[in-house]
Structure 1
Amino acid sequence: MSDSELELWTLDELCDHAFAIFEELAEENLSAEDYALYQQHAATAAYVDLVPASEDWVDIIAMDIDPELHVEAHIGLAEVNHVAEIVLARILLSKEKFETLCHARWRGQE
């Protein structure tokens, strides 16, 4: 399939997709404190920010990142307990709807 035939997520769909992945995996991957903090403040302070995929993913997943086809979602809480921003997860996603690529780095993970 050529690039012109790829079916890509919209930005809103990517945000929803990232949140769905986060919600499914957060409890088992965040510390109990971070998960409780997220649960307590999610309705008022949760956010997702889509940014270009950082180069450290190449080392983490041992494959090249295509900036046209990959995006990094930062999911966290905005200004909770006087902390400006807490990034709870970085999730690497494919912009292509039928590509299953998904890798996550969680707060506190080395």
Structure 2
Amino acid sequence: MQELEMWSLDELCDHAFDIFEELAADNLSAEDYQFYQQHYEARGYVDLVVPGADWLDTVNQELEPELHFEAQIGVTGENGSADLVLARILLSREKHETLCHALWRGQ
């Protein structure tokens, strides 16, 4: 059996961010995209979390918590305000799996 080639968690964050950067202008409102552009250097973030049950309706397959991650990308809040999640991107750690779904703020 062939061993799977896996992204490290840091590589997966970078991969998610690359996807976000490529698609954000076409999928965010003009206001959200402009806000992101103004603040990403100082306050932009990507967090990896275990995918929630809501992804099952989108992907129509079982997700393995050690293999599949949701990358939440956004801008951290200021002065105690909540973080602004701009996109949730579902990815696999397996480098050759094409699973990639994105849910964008406002859609």
Give the TM-score of the pair, scaled to structure 2: 0.93
**Over aligned residue pairs, what C-alpha RMSD do you find?**
1.4
- Equivalent pair of 1:70/1:95 in contact (CA under 8 Å): yes
C-alpha contact (below 8 Å) 1:76/1:86 kept by paired residues: yes
User: In proportion to residue count, which structure has more strand?
Assistant: 1
**5+ residue gaps in structure 1?**
none
Q: TM-score, normalised by structure 1?
A: 0.91
Indicate yes or no: 2:37 matched with 1:30: no
CA distance in 1, matches of 2:12, 2:80: 29
In the alignment, is residue 42 of structure 1 matched against residue 50 of structure 2? no
| 8 Å CA contact 1:41, 1:80 repeated in 2 | no
Q: How many residues align?
A: 107
Q: Which amino acid aligns with 2:25?
A: E
Query: What are the Cα deviations for residues 32-64 of structure 1, in whole angstroms up to 9, with x where unaligned?
Result: 100000000011100000000111111012121
Name the counterpart of 1:78.
76
Residue aligning to 1:19? 17
Tell me: CA distance 1:107–1:29, structure 2 relative to 1, closer, same or farther (3 Å): same
Q: 1:58 aligns with which of 43, 56, 59?
A: 56
- Cα displacement (A) at 1:80: 4.5
Give distance in 1, aligned partners of 2:67 and 2:8.
12
Structure 2: which 5+ runs fail to align? none
- 3-state SS of paired residue (1:98): coil
